[in-house]
Amino acid sequence: MESMRIRPSQFFDSQQPPANLQDIKTRINSFVEKHAKVPGRRIVLVTSGGTTVPLEAQTVRFIDNFSAGTRGSISTEYFLEHGYAVIFLHRQYSLLPYSRHYSHSKNCFLDFMKPDGNGGITVAPQYTPAMLQVLEKYNSVKQQGLLELVSFVDVNEYLFLLREISCSLAKIQERAMFYLAAAVSDFYIPMGKMVQHKIQSGEGALHLELDQVPKILSPLVKEWAPRAFVVSFKLETDPSILISKAKTALARYSHQAVIGNILSTRKHHVILITNQEEKDIRLTKEEQDLGVEIEGSFIHELIERQDRWVAAAAAVEK
Ligand code: PMT
């Protein structure tokens, strides 16, 4: 079948940018400018959660994917612990750093509270130490202005925001990292082909034709932020093709690293692939039972590789 994938520039020329793009641009530029002034400060863009694909312009129905933003929200906390400033580009209402410990799907915050006997409420004593730790980290990050939140819903918004943020981050060159953990749709309905109103069920079976979303890694690496350290993720369900697909991505886009993961094992097994190596990173059964997070291990590895990337660029400039 002939490929229908359009070029990124055609995509941006034919799609409508989000209404709040200018406001976000202003906010991101001032975040980047502020942190660029701090010697040695790095900024990472973490993308997180799934993009939707609307079926109607006045959207009633949309296609979605599984991602709740677990990887992205956990990773953000580790980057902050390593002194990075973070732009967290996330799906609206998906998991957020820090509050993810008390999300609605696990550990509802109400289960941690109790009446204090004087008409007020307090945290139950058995939960206080852990909650206090999270709260202190959260407050410190807020106070230092280290975390900037930007949300998207559909793939169109995601791509426009990604381009805007990339061009802003390009100003800090090798000190910028891109950590593209969002689950990005490969298919969409272009605005020009989308119906305006709710699709009617009285018209029989629904036949959809979706166009291919342009692969955005290509302009990101080649044009928008060519000196940044770029990490993409490769998600597969078939382990036998994961490494070859990850290597193909690395060769095609010429970026710095791919984290390969399989849907069913992604929380305890990833493969870090660069041009020099292929590193298996796993949590043991004991670590999994203790609630160790795999992001802690591989983010540390990525930061070491960015250190070398920054040092190599500095050596060339001398
Ligand atoms: O949120 P969780 O439940 O914790 O799950 C985490 C995760 C499994 C979503 C995450 O670890 C992950 O693998 N994210 C990438 C998912 C994905 O989009 O994979 P892909 O193989 O379809 O795309 C590979 C890369 O190409 C991605 O880095 C993506 O940013 C990029 N891409 C994708 C589509 C597109 N049109 N342009 C792109 O550049």
Please name the residue whose Cα sits nearest to atom 14 of ligand 1: 181
Please name the residue whose Cα sits nearest to atom 13 of ligand 1: 235
CATH architecture of 8-198+208-227: 3-Layer(aba) Sandwich (3.40)
Token pair, residue 83, equals 């002194």
User: How crowded is residue 282: how many other Cβ atoms within 10 Å of its Cβ?
Assistant: 14
CA distance 276 to 265: 24
Per residue of the chain (318 residues), give pLDDT as tens. Answer: 445 689 999 999 999 999 999 999 999 999 999 999 999 999 999 999 999 999 999 999 999 999 999 999 999 999 999 999 999 999 999 999 999 999 877 788 899 999 999 999 999 999 999 999 999 999 999 999 999 999 999 999 999 999 999 999 999 999 999 999 999 999 999 999 999 999 999 889 999 999 999 999 999 999 999 999 999 999 999 999 999 999 999 999 999 999 999 999 999 999 999 999 999 999 999 999 999 999 999 999 999 999 999 999 999 887
Tokens 């980290």, residue? 137
pTM for the predicted model, two decimal places: 0.96
**Pairing state of beta strands 187-188 and 211-212?**
antiparallel
Ligand 1 close to Cβ of residue 232 (< 6 A): yes
Counting from 1 in the atom list of ligand 1, the atom nearest the Cα of 217 is 39
- Structural domain spans, the chain: 8-198+208-227
What distance in angstroms lies between residue 187's CA and the mean position of ligand 1's atoms? 13
Ligand 1 close to Cβ of residue 67 (< 6 A): yes
What distance in angstroms lies between residue 262's CA and the mean position of ligand 1's atoms? 11
CA distance 261 to 272: 9
Ligand 1 close to Cβ of residue 216 (< 6 A): yes
Question: Which of 234, 258, 259, 281 gets mutated to test ligand 1 (max ligand atoms within 8 A of its CB)?
Answer: 234
User: How crowded is residue 202: how many other Cβ atoms within 10 Å of its Cβ?
Assistant: 4
User: Tell me, what's the pLDDT at 4?
Assistant: 61
Complex confidence, ipTM: 0.96
Nearest to 245 by CA among 266, 213, 271: 271
CA distance 53 to 310: 37
Counting from 1 in the atom list of ligand 1, the atom nearest the Cα of 47 is 30
Ligand 1 close to Cβ of residue 217 (< 6 A): yes
